Structure 1
Amino acid sequence: MSDDVSVIIEAVPRAGLSAEQLRQAVARHPGVLSALEVADPDRLTIGPAAALGHDPGENAPFRATVFDPAGNRAVELRGTLDRPERAEIRPSAHRPPPSHDELIEAAAILRADPHFPADGEAIVYRPMPPLADLENPDGTTVRRPTLGIYTPNEPTGVRHRIVAVDTAAGAVDWTPAGIDVRMHHDCEHTVPEGIDPLADRGGPDQVRVRVLSGATELWNLLVVRPRASAPQNPGVGSGVELREVRYRGRLVLRQAHVPILNVEYEQGTTFRDDASTETRFSAGGTDPVGWGWRLCDRPPRTILERPDSDSGGFQGVAFHHDGDELRIVSEIQAGWYRYASDWRLGDDGTIRPRFGFAATANPMTCMVHRHHAYWRFDFDIEGAANDVIEQIDQGPIVPDPVPIIRETTRRRAPGRYWQVRDKSSGRGFQIHPGPFDDTADAYGVSDLWFLRHHPAELEDGNPGPRDRAALGRFLNSESIDGANVVVWYAGHYYHDQAHPQPHQGELIGPELVPI
């Protein structure tokens, strides 16, 4: 870190309902328990409910999912923070990924099964998909977390097996239907650490970060760690989330995150990945606000910088200033996938969102596939209103920017970039595609969406088909000329392990350049 640059980190409480507050509201709600046919609210899975909106007050709206793992059913609550016991109840198809406690219970059942390998070298890990639920003849379903078994010295050559565990019945299904893997393959070479990340010892969900150059404040923002990132409950998080981002005292972004993270294999398998489960990486330094937040004295190293290791002594969000920019980074996991959620805030005001892709040993990623990461940028240049989005197509002569006045979607093209600016001051940011961001195929849908801001449009609800991003459901021709605007930006990463691309191993993401 440069001698004249300092990074200050302070814990800040989040607006919304805690999990315990929401549980108390559910116990008082006249309809939730009857809708789920549950008598005891303690058996329900209930997470915190974040407040929606730009400046949430005591009566701000919230959305939350209440899930019954025994009945494998959920309802969604839509209400206000001041009267959560009066929330509206709606049916919900959301099924949260298995919790740490669920996986520990499932692993104990698996290890006690007589078919579990007896050589003592088997590693139990989180596979994909995370669930293999079973439908009963009467239409009800049984929740069944999946577990992977890695046996590197298996004499038959079948190194990977994926099973489904019915924790209520204490039973293991060794051949669950719908699990599409080639178990004789052993893709990647990094041995997984198993189902246990480091024990979560608490720590704040979000912090305020300030970057000072001498007496001048360059950056002031809130950083939310992946485990608490929006959208959750419903939703599956969004990696490291930034909020209320100010550069030299001026508001530029109200919120920035990656709420949709998809992968598609050429043979047809698709996944919508969890972006909230933190996993370990290497980061040395001090913890100014407690567990899970580290100010580094040297660059942190995720699995991308340490491709032979799925270990490390840190889990959470790490910060490092290299003299020119602040790096904000975490490593997250979804099954065998490992992702680097990374932000670079330059002293000159440039913002470089980045996302990286890796995996531990598994039976699948050596098949050709594409990752699709969808950033959501809630631009608030000089405030929420009066912003405009413009397109520039460079050629021999750079034309005047063309305003985009209605909600729409766009593809990348050579020489094309966009800018979001305040119509009064002219200040804003150009959006330049990254060199490795590719262009959408049919599954990736598109490259950018330009939308009018609505508080509940934090993700697409994963309506399908095949987990495909459904951001088009938000396009309804609303005016975005002089409005509060949101830009979704998609990066598409092609992975062919047999024929590596020149960019393989690189981070993807755009460059946001201040005007």
Structure 2
Amino acid sequence: MSDDVRIILEAVPRAGLTAERLRQAVAEHPGVLAELDVADPAELLVPYAAALGHDPGDDAPFRACVFDPVGNRSVELRGTLDRPERAEVRPSAFTPQPGSGELTAAAAILRADPGFPAGDDIVVYRPMPPLADLENPDGTTVRRPTLGVYTPGDPTGVRHRIVAVDIMGRGVDWTPAGVNVRMHHDCEDSVPVGVDALADHGGPDQVRVRVVRGETELWNLLVVRPRASAPQNPGVGSGVELRDVRYRGRLLLRQAHVPILNVEYEEGTTFRDDVSAETRFSATGRDPVGWGWRLCDGPPRTILERPHTDAGNFQGVALHHDGERLRIVSELQAGWYRYASDWRLGDDGVVQPRFGFAATANPMTCQVHRHHAYWRFDFDIGGAAGDVVEQLDEGPISPDPVPIVRETSRRRRSGRFWRVRDGSSGRGYQIHSGPFDGTADAYGVSDLWFLRHHPAELDDGNPGPRDRAALDRFVNGESIHGANVVVWYAGHYFHDQAHPQPHQGELIGPDLIPI
């Protein structure tokens, strides 16, 4: 870290309802327990309910899904922070991802099963898909987290098995329907860490980060760690999330994150990936605000920089300044996938959102597939309203900027870029595509969306089909000229392990350049 640059971290509480307060509201609500047919609210999984909107007050709105693991059903509550017991109750198809405690319990049941293989090299890990629920004849379903069993020394050559565990019934299904359960392929070479190795040790959900050079404050922002990133319940998080981003005292972004991450294989399998599950990587330094936040002495290294190991000494968000820019990074897991959620904030005001793709030993990723990451940038250039969006094309004779005045989507092409600026001051940011960001295919849908801000449009709700991004449903002709503008930016990463591309292993993402 440069001697004349200081990185200052301060833990900041989130705006919203604690799980304890929401559980109390559920107990007092006349409709929630009746809808779920549950007598005791202590049996329910109740999340933290984050406040929605800009600068939320005590009466800010919230959305949260309450889940009954026995009945395998959810309801969604929509209300306000000051009166959660009066929230509207709606049926919900949302199913939360298995948490570390649930997976640890499932692993104990699996290891006690007579069919569990013998050997010291067996690893029980998180596979894909994360759930293999079983439908009963009466239409009810049984929640069954999946577990991968890695057996590198199996004499038959079967290195991966994926099983489903009924925690309530304490049973193991070694051949769950719809899951390829006996797999000889062993793509990648990083042995996955077991589910028992990923305990959450607490620490703040978010911190305020200040970058100060001499007497000048360059950056001031809130950083939310993946486990608490929006949206969740409903939603699957968004990696490292930035909020209230200010450069040299001026507001740039109210919120920036990756709420949608999916993958499609050429043979047809698709997944919508969890973007909130933190995993280990290498980061050396000190923890000034507690566990999960590390101010590094040298560059942190994820699985992309350490390609043959899934181990590490840290889990959370690492920060490092190299003398020219601040890097904010975490490593995520979704089954056998490993992702680098990475932000670079330059001392010159340039913002480089980055996302990287890797995997541990698994039976699938050597098949051709494409990852699609969708950043959401809630621009507030100097304030929440009055922003203007323009499209520009580079060339020997550059035409005048073309204003985009209605909600729309756009495809990338060479030489094209966009800018969002404040209509009064002219200040703003250009959006330049990264060299490896690709162009959308039919599954990727598009490359950019320009939308009017709405508090509840934090993701697409994952309505399908096949986990495909459904952002087009927000394009309804609203005016965005002089409004509060949200830009969605998609990066598309092609992975063919047999024929790697020149950019294989690189991070993707745009450059946001100050005007």
Alignment TM class, shorter chain as reference: over 0.9
One-letter code of the match for 1:89? V
One-letter code of the match for 1:454? H
Partner of 2:86: 86
Partner of 1:221: 221
Partner of 1:468: 468
- Residues in 2 aligned to 1:287 and 1:250: alpha-carbon distance in whole angstroms: 28
CA drift at 1:405 = 0.3
CA change 1:478–1:180 in 2 (3 A) is farther
Alignment of 1:361-440 (within 5 A): 361-440=361-440
Aligned length: 515
CA drift at 1:99 = 1.4
One-letter code of the match for 1:509? G
CA contact (8 A) 1:345 1:351 kept: yes
- Residues in 2 aligned to 1:5 and 1:397: alpha-carbon distance in whole angstroms: 41
SS in structure 2 opposite 1:46? Answer: coil
- Residues in 2 aligned to 1:245 and 1:71: alpha-carbon distance in whole angstroms: 42
SS in structure 1 opposite 2:367? Answer: coil
SS in structure 2 opposite 1:344? Answer: strand
Deviation per CA, 1:208-231: give whole Å up to 9, x if none. Answer: 000001000000000000000000
Alignment of 1:215-254 (within 5 A): 215-254=215-254
- Residues in 2 aligned to 1:323 and 1:373: alpha-carbon distance in whole angstroms: 29
SS in structure 2 opposite 1:152? Answer: coil
CA contact (8 A) 1:181 1:364 kept: no
- Residues in 2 aligned to 1:339 and 1:120: alpha-carbon distance in whole angstroms: 28
CA drift at 1:102 = 1.1
Partner of 1:178: 178
CA drift at 1:181 = 6.5
Partner of 1:147: 147
Alignment of 1:15-30 (within 5 A): 15-30=15-30
Partner of 1:299: 299
One-letter code of the match for 1:317? V
CA change 1:415–1:506 in 2 (3 A) is same
- Residues in 2 aligned to 1:21 and 1:328: alpha-carbon distance in whole angstroms: 32
Alignment of 1:86-105 (within 5 A): 86-105=86-105
Partner of 1:489: 489
- Residues in 2 aligned to 1:121 and 1:182: alpha-carbon distance in whole angstroms: 18
SS in structure 2 opposite 1:300? Answer: coil
CA drift at 1:105 = 1.2
CA change 1:155–1:49 in 2 (3 A) is same
CA contact (8 A) 2:162 2:180 kept: no
Partner of 1:274: 274
- Residues in 2 aligned to 1:74 and 1:287: alpha-carbon distance in whole angstroms: 37
CA drift at 1:178 = 1.2
CA contact (8 A) 1:17 1:81 kept: yes
Partner of 1:47: 47
Partner of 1:37: 37
Q: Which runs of 5+ in 2 are unaligned?
A: none
One-letter code of the match for 2:457? E
- Residues in 1 aligned to 2:170 and 2:34: alpha-carbon distance in whole angstroms: 27
TM-score (norm 1): 0.99
- Residues in 2 aligned to 1:338 and 1:82: alpha-carbon distance in whole angstroms: 39
One-letter code of the match for 2:171? A
1:317 aligns with 2:320: no
CA drift at 1:197 = 3.9
- Residues in 2 aligned to 1:424 and 1:6: alpha-carbon distance in whole angstroms: 33
SS in structure 2 opposite 1:434? Answer: coil
CA contact (8 A) 1:277 1:333 kept: yes
CA contact (8 A) 1:180 1:269 kept: no
One-letter code of the match for 1:50? A
SS in structure 2 opposite 1:294? Answer: strand
- Residues in 2 aligned to 1:228 and 1:459: alpha-carbon distance in whole angstroms: 15
CA drift at 1:168 = 1.1
Partner of 1:360: 360
- Residues in 2 aligned to 1:148 and 1:165: alpha-carbon distance in whole angstroms: 11
Deviation per CA, 1:48-95: give whole Å up to 9, x if none. Answer: 000000010000000000000100000000000000000000010000
CA drift at 1:201 = 1.8
- Residues in 1 aligned to 2:114 and 2:482: alpha-carbon distance in whole angstroms: 66
Partner of 2:108: 108
Partner of 1:445: 445
- Residues in 1 aligned to 2:462 and 2:360: alpha-carbon distance in whole angstroms: 26
CA contact (8 A) 1:127 1:335 kept: yes
CA contact (8 A) 1:197 1:280 kept: no
CA contact (8 A) 2:175 2:181 kept: no
Partner of 2:73: 73
Partner of 1:503: 503
CA drift at 1:19 = 0.9
- Residues in 1 aligned to 2:194 and 2:401: alpha-carbon distance in whole angstroms: 52
Partner of 1:130: 130
CA contact (8 A) 2:100 2:198 kept: no
CA drift at 1:182 = 6.7
SS in structure 2 opposite 1:34? Answer: helix
Partner of 1:333: 333
After superposition, the CA RMSD in angstroms is: 0.8
Deviation per CA, 1:149-195: give whole Å up to 9, x if none. Answer: 00001110110000011111111111111114671100000000111
Q: Which runs of 5+ in 1 are unaligned?
A: none
SS in structure 2 opposite 1:196? Answer: helix
SS in structure 2 opposite 1:466? Answer: coil
CA drift at 1:199 = 2.5
Deviation per CA, 1:385-430: give whole Å up to 9, x if none. Answer: 0001100122221111100000000000010000000000000000
CA contact (8 A) 1:181 1:363 kept: no
CA drift at 1:119 = 2.1
- Residues in 1 aligned to 2:192 and 2:42: alpha-carbon distance in whole angstroms: 33
- Residues in 1 aligned to 2:181 and 2:103: alpha-carbon distance in whole angstroms: 20
CA drift at 1:15 = 0.3
- Residues in 2 aligned to 1:501 and 1:197: alpha-carbon distance in whole angstroms: 33
Partner of 2:193: 193
Deviation per CA, 1:349-393: give whole Å up to 9, x if none. Answer: 000000000000000000000000000000000100000110012
SS in structure 1 opposite 2:183? Answer: coil
